[in-house]
Every structure is written in C-alpha cells, then in structure tokens.
Amino acid sequence: MAFQRFILGKKNQIALVSAILIAIGFISGLGFKNEEIASWAFILASLFGALPIAIQAYQALRVKVVSIDVLVTIAVLGAFFIRNYEESAIVTFLFLFGAYLEQRTLNKTRSAIKELTEMAPESALKRMDDGEFVEVDVDEVEVGDLLLVKTGAKVPVDGTVLSGEGFINEASITGEAVPVEKRQGSPVFAGTILENGTLQVSADRVGEDTTFGRIIELVEEAQDSKSEAERFIDRFSKWYTPAVLVLAGIVWAVSRDIELAITILVLGCPGALVIGVPVSNVAGIGNGAKHGILLKGSEVIVDFSRVDTMVFDKTGTLTVGNPKVADVALYTNDAARVLAYLASVERESDHPLADAVVEHIGETALYPVEKTDVIRGGGVTAQVDGHKLTVGNVALMEQDGAVLSDQVRADISRFEQSGNSLVLAALDGEVKVLMGIRDQIRPGLKTDLEKIKKLGVKNLVVLSGDNQGTVDRVAAELGLTEAHGHMLPEDKSAYIQDLIARKHTVAFVGDGVNDSPSLALAQIGIAMGSGTDVAIETSDVVLMNSDFGRLPHALGLTKAIARNMRQNIAIAIGVVLALLASVFFSSWMNMSIGMFVHEGSILLVILNGMRLLSYKLT
C-alpha cells in the first residue's frame, strides 16, 4: 500500500520522465536510425507510465469497477504483446498528462477558501468598561460592543456608525470603485476599509454572521455543490471494456484460437479514444493560453461550450472600475481661470470625486485657497483669488443661494439620466461649471457582447451593488437582457441559484472578492485577470490582463474544442467497430493490418486535435 501511494503521488514526475524518454526514442529512431535505443526508450517510457495506471486499474477492480484505467492497461499490454512500444508509450503519457491538467484545477480551487479567510479582519479596537479602547481579537467582539475604526483599518464587524465621518472602500462587498461616505447612522460592513476619517461603530453582526463571513460560507457551499461530472469516456468504458473482454473470451472458448482472441483484445482497445480527448483539450488550452485565456480543465471546456446565460458584475467587468469625468458643461467665457480656481480647491480634498475633477482638469495654474468651509454632505466653500467659490452638489448650490439657470437645470437633469454623480462649481453665486462623473464602460464592449450573442448565449444579465439607475443605463447602452442593482453578494448568489434551478447553464463574469461566491456557484466562473486572487482561483476561466475582448474568443474556442472532442470520439469508436467487424466478416484482416489502421486512427485524431492550435474566432 505504501508503494502504491508513493507511485500515485509521483504521477506528474513519472509523466515528465515518460515524455523525456519518448523524445529520446523518436530522436534515436528517426534522427540517428538507432532502432535498439529507440525501442528501449519506448519500453522504459511505457513501463514508467503504465505503473500508476495499472495501480489505479487494480484499485478500481477491487471495488468492482471497470474504469478507463483498466482500458488503458489492456491497451498497453496488447501493444507490448505485438511489440508496438511506441504506441504504448504515447498512450500512457497522454493519459497521465490529462490527469495532471484536472488535478491542477482542483488544487487551485481548494486554495480559494484559505485566501478568503486570510482577508477577513483579525482584530478590533473595543471600548472597555473604563472607556478606553483596547485592541482585541475579532472573535472577542460581541453584538452591541462599541468599536473604534481608524484610517486605513478594516471594519471588523457589520454595524452602525454612532459618531465620526469618513469614506469607506466597500469594493470587497459591493464591488463598487467609489468609496462611500459614512456618518452617524450609516451601515458599515466587515472586511471593508476606512480610507480616511475615524468612526465609532456599534456591532450589529459579528463573526460568521457578517456579510464577509457569509461570503466565505457561500464559496464553501458552492464549491461543495459543484461535483466533477463523469467524462463520457469513463461512462463508455464501463460498458465497452467488459464487452470487449467478454467477446474475446467467447471467441477463445469457441475457437480455441488464442491469437484471434488477443487480436480482438488489441484491436478492441481504442487507443485513439484514449488519446483523442486529451489531445483536443491540450491543443485547445494551448490556444487559449496563447490568447491570454486560462481554461482550467476539460470539464470546464464542455460546460462553457453549453452556456446559454451569461451574468456580469458591473464595476471592473463591464466598466473600467475607475471613476472619471464623463460630461462637462461650462457657463463662462473665462473657463481656464474658473477651472484653475476649481482645481485649487479640489486638490486639497481627499474626496474621490475631487480626485476625478483634478485629474480631468490636469496641469493648470494654482491659487492660494483661504477660509475653507466643509459643508457636511454637500461640498465645500472657499475664498480663491478674492472670489468665493462653492463646490458641491445641487443641494449645496441651492442652500448657498447660487443661481441655477434654466440651462443649468436642464443639463443637471440630462447628466443625472446618464447615471452621473454631479459636481457643480459656483463663482460669486453663479454656477460656472457642471461635471458628471461616472465609471466608464470598457472600450469595444458592445461589439464583444454582440459576438457572444452570435455564439448562442441568449441571456446577458448585469448584477451590481450600484443604484438601479446607473445599472439600467449600462444595460441600455450595451443591449443587455436584464439589469439588477442594489445587490449584495448573497443576492447575486441567490439569483444564480434561481437561474440554475430553471435549467439554465450559467456563466458568471466578475473580478472582486464579493464575486467569488457567484463565481464558484455558477457552472462556469469567469474572472478578470487583474481581479483579486480569490476571484481568480475560485473561477473556472481567467481572462488575463482583464481584457474583456478575450471572452468571445474563449467561448468560441470551447465550442470548437467540444466539437473536436466529439469528432475524435466518433473517429475512434468508428474505427474500432470497423476493425472488430472486419475480424469476423473478412478474410484479409489480421493483426498487422489492424494495427496499421489503428495507428492511422491515432494519427488522425492527433492531427484533428492539433487544428485547435490555429483556431481564431471568425
């Protein structure tokens, strides 16, 4: 048993040694015409590769299962009997390499839970009976405790702000890029980060009951519910392999012709079937890697090719994830001076909208800013170059008595309908600047989505923690089927579960920690490559460099791979049936001719699979 565990634990290394020996065999035979060295290289490669397969076949037979390992073991023994060492070496190597690809996928998936756990808050500043705040382990926090959260710290619980103000980055929960302002009465979530300010928070939910805790739980449940689908070849071999064995036994019992029985065994072992699917997978995965697409295994490919519903996170997926000034209206003949005043005031603010304004204005003259007065929930007023400048939202303009002309009000309405956050600047009581700030849709995205529709995906859905108006705007602009806003991670997961319950094959595309439950729960999880490690490891497909344009190629490629696998299976089974039939119904069929055809079928499925290396979406 210890020896078996040792061998099975070294399958990847054995596959590597087999590959080296196969290369030596071909170089010796074809390059140097040294058949003896070539034969020994193929023999050693076959023995190394067959050892773990034979052990797995033995273990399967012990529990009365005739598995694909039994099929391969018989194929190798048959090839040895007729001294075709080259075939046995290639069969064993490709079988082990396919197993390596599947195991690699499982190992990546298992590490996602660990990554999530490490991101959870570990400590909290808890107010003690003497009124002092003391750092304690987060497990010691109870509902009702008063906690202090400082700039740069993670919020340790789900709770309510009792005092203080600040901006919290809630990307780990909502996936949204713009930090959210928090003040007395505002809700906060565990795992989010306070970018500036200081808050005192009352704990409402702690530990596993927090939103972040539920994210971890959802990922665990989703991964547990996602069992590996049994491959067609495994199902086929459960019936086919025993049938061939019985047929060979019957032939021997009736004819007492051992050579005929062995011929049936050899010809009945579909080497092309064993090789065809791994070749398609390897070639397809190689094409994907060349185009910046990571496909994690053969089952992923088959499931992805059947997707009829694709669900998208918004921020960082459909949009760039970095708020920019999208719309500008100026109501002055001296725009350069007014914008310089505005940049001078906004550069002193740490508000994310102020950063967007400063970035948009760019290099400009700067003026001293005096008598700055921050208006909570509204904006700021200040003296610049002897003028009063008011910067903020519409409510602040009205409160400060600024003049809002009919044109300004019309532009405000237009900007809001476009899903913008508004920044107005009034100089000496008159509005001079109106800016609309929003996250930008990825360039070329609409064209990419049209390609996805043409590939047979009927439903395109966006789910987001953002407000419904913004989500509707994105959906309308991109021609999506459905749009749902104000969705927390558990809402997204519930939506995915409902789609699956209604017999849809669902792919979810996202990039944040908050997306990981949905990525794990959907039949196919697709992560943007610049997203979090957890999202990438939880997913089945990764688009490297967050290039959304790779998604149509990925979908088209998986459909091509699935087609190619079906073709190879049909070729392999067809050739085997033809060979077996010819043994009984022709006088010219013998083992040599059969093996020639057998080798031809193997070459055919390899060449067919290699076509995928040059696949391009038309």
Tokens coding 511: 């990039």
What pLDDT shows up at residue 105? Answer: 39
Complete edge-to-edge strand list for the sheet that includes strand 324-330: 324-330, 430-438, 421-427, 387-392, 379-384, 369-375
Within a domain: residue 614? no
CB atoms within 10 A of CB 578: 14
Looking at per-residue pLDDT, the higher value among 267 and 474 belongs to 474
Residue 147: give its domain's CATH number. Answer: 2.70.150.10
* End-of-domain residue from the set 557, 580, 603: 557
Maximum mean pLDDT: which of 32-41, 198-207, 532-541: 198-207
Residue 354: give its domain's CATH number. Answer: 3.40.1110.10
- In whole angstroms, how far apart are CA 130 and each of 126, 127, 133, 134, 249? 11, 8, 9, 10, 87
Tell me, yes or no, whether 308 and 388 share the same domain: no
| pLDDT tens digit sequence for 121-147 | 889 999 998 889 999 998 899 999 999
Within a domain: residue 221? no
Looking at per-residue pLDDT, the higher value among 529 and 206 belongs to 206
Is the full-model pTM beyond 0.85? Answer: no
Within a domain: residue 306? yes
Within a domain: residue 582? no
Within a domain: residue 140? yes
What pLDDT shows up at residue 598? Answer: 66
Say which range, 5-14, 112-121, 268-277, 296-305, has the weakest mean pLDDT: 112-121
What pLDDT shows up at residue 100? Answer: 72
Determine contact, residues 101/282, Cβ cutoff 8 Å.
yes
CB atoms within 10 A of CB 37: 14
Tell me, yes or no, whether 489 and 464 share the same domain: yes
Tell me, yes or no, whether 361 and 432 share the same domain: yes
Tell me, yes or no, whether 446 and 535 share the same domain: yes
Looking at per-residue pLDDT, the higher value among 72 and 327 belongs to 327
* End-of-domain residue from the set 557, 575, 591: 557
| Res. 120: pLDDT tops 80 | no
237: which residues sit within 8 A by CB, 6+ positions away?
66, 67, 68, 70, 71
Tell me, yes or no, whether 342 and 428 share the same domain: yes
Tell me, yes or no, whether 335 and 406 share the same domain: yes
Determine contact, residues 467/485, Cβ cutoff 8 Å.
yes
Query: Region 570-596: what's the mean pLDDT?
Result: 75
What pLDDT shows up at residue 225? Answer: 38
Residue 551: give its domain's CATH number. Answer: 3.40.50.1000
CB atoms within 10 A of CB 378: 18
Tell me, yes or no, whether 365 and 469 share the same domain: no
Tokens coding 179: 């930090």
Within a domain: residue 328? yes
For residues 461-500, one letter each, b for 16 or more C-beta atoms within 10 angstroms of the residue's C-beta and e for the rest, the string is bbbbbbeeebbbbbbeebebeebbbebbbbebbbbbbebb
At residue 393, φ and ψ (nearest 5 deg) are: -90, 180
Rounded to whole angstroms, the Cα distance separating 357 from 328 reads 10
The total number of structural domains that make up the chain:
3
Q: Where are the alpha helices (DSSP H) in 479-532?
A: 489-501, 516-521
How is residue 154 annotated by DSSP? B
What pLDDT shows up at residue 296? Answer: 74
| Predicted confidence band of residue 460 (pLDDT cuts 50, 70, 90) | very high
The residues assigned a catalytic role are: 313
Within a domain: residue 173? yes
SS3 434: strand
Tell me, yes or no, whether 345 and 405 share the same domain: yes
Maximum mean pLDDT: which of 80-84, 247-251, 479-483: 479-483
Tell me, yes or no, whether 452 and 534 share the same domain: yes
Rounded to whole angstroms, the Cα distance separating 170 from 147 reads 18
> How many residues does this entry show for the chain?
618
| Predicted confidence band of residue 104 (pLDDT cuts 50, 70, 90) | low
Determine contact, residues 331/407, Cβ cutoff 8 Å.
yes
Looking at per-residue pLDDT, the higher value among 25 and 545 belongs to 25
Within a domain: residue 30? no
* End-of-domain residue from the set 410, 438, 466: 438
| pLDDT tens digit sequence for 481-503 | 999 987 878 888 899 999 999 99
What pLDDT shows up at residue 21? Answer: 92
| Predicted confidence band of residue 315 (pLDDT cuts 50, 70, 90) | confident
| Predicted confidence band of residue 414 (pLDDT cuts 50, 70, 90) | confident
**570 alpha-carbon distance from chain centroid:** 31
Maximum mean pLDDT: which of 258-262, 318-322, 364-368: 364-368
Tell me, yes or no, whether 391 and 468 share the same domain: no
For the four alpha carbons of 72, 73, 74 and 79, in that order, the dihedral sign comes to: positive
Domain around 136 = 122-155+158-205
Tell me, yes or no, whether 422 and 472 share the same domain: no
Percent of the chain with pLDDT over 90: 20
Tell me, yes or no, whether 299 and 448 share the same domain: yes
What pLDDT shows up at residue 224? Answer: 45
What pLDDT shows up at residue 365? Answer: 86
